[in-house]
Amino acid sequence: MKKLKITVTAGPTREYLDPVRFLSNPSTGKMGFAVARAAAERGHEVTLVAGPVALKTPKGVRRIDVVSAREMAAAVGASQGDVLVAVAAVADWRPRKRAAKKLKKRDMAGVLELVRNPDILKTAEFPVKIGFAAETGDPAPEAVRKCREKKLAMIVANDVSEAGSGFGADTNRVALCRADGTVERLPKMSKLAVARRIARECENLRA
């Protein structure tokens, strides 16, 4: 089997409006770290670009810690390789301005101006790209559409409104959705088992 260079993004990003306040989401990084671990266990060269999470680096994985979406985009852009697996829950927006000092309550207008963050998965150049999608309700139709829009080989979609699936859980029930419209629904399984399946998919898609 050919050794692949695989870049994985994981965890949330933080978008600061001042030194002590940020926009983010409840991603814990478990799924992305599991993908990095599974790919490394299969002998691949793995770069893990991680947002702020409290997890240990899997054995044999090169880890780059980042905070914001723009930092994550820069690290992914510098990594290059065969496959990008974008598991991170990237904040879609950031505050237009980041104050150097803590904002005073009285100086806050009650309205926060936001600008769009770069779409890392869409803009990164890798021969094979795999995305993740969290939706509430059946994620498959939207995932197939996104596959085509972002030129992805596959989207791993999950319904985050279901118990034991999504943010923070140890298990996940996912559907593998491809641009050709095929959807393979997997049973609920551990995130590591999902990750091992994705690692094998990386090899098949690159072959």
- Binding residues for ligand C5P (CB under 6 A): 9, 69, 86-88, 90, 92, 117, 119-121, 131-133, 146
Q: Which of 94/173 has CB closer to ligand C5P?
A: 94
Q: Which of 40/87 has CB closer to ligand C5P?
A: 87
What minimum distance in Å lies between the beta carbon of 27 and ligand C5P?
Answer: 10
Q: Which of 149/184 has CB closer to ligand C5P?
A: 149
What minimum distance in Å lies between the beta carbon of 88 and ligand C5P?
Answer: 5
What minimum distance in Å lies between the beta carbon of 106 and ligand C5P?
Answer: 33
Q: Which pair of tokens denotes residue 166?
A: 């999504």
Query: Whose structure tokens read 């990164």?
Result: 124
Q: Is residue 117 annotated as a catalytic residue, yes or no?
A: no
Distance of CA 36 to the CA centre of its chain: 11
Distances from the Cα of 42 to the Cα of 17, 34, 153, 155, angstroms: 41, 12, 20, 21
Distance CA 181, CA 140 (A): 9
Pairing, β 21-23 against β 15-18: antiparallel
Under 8 Å CB-to-CB from 115, ≥6 apart: which residues?
A: 93, 94, 95, 96
Active-site residues, by number, are 25
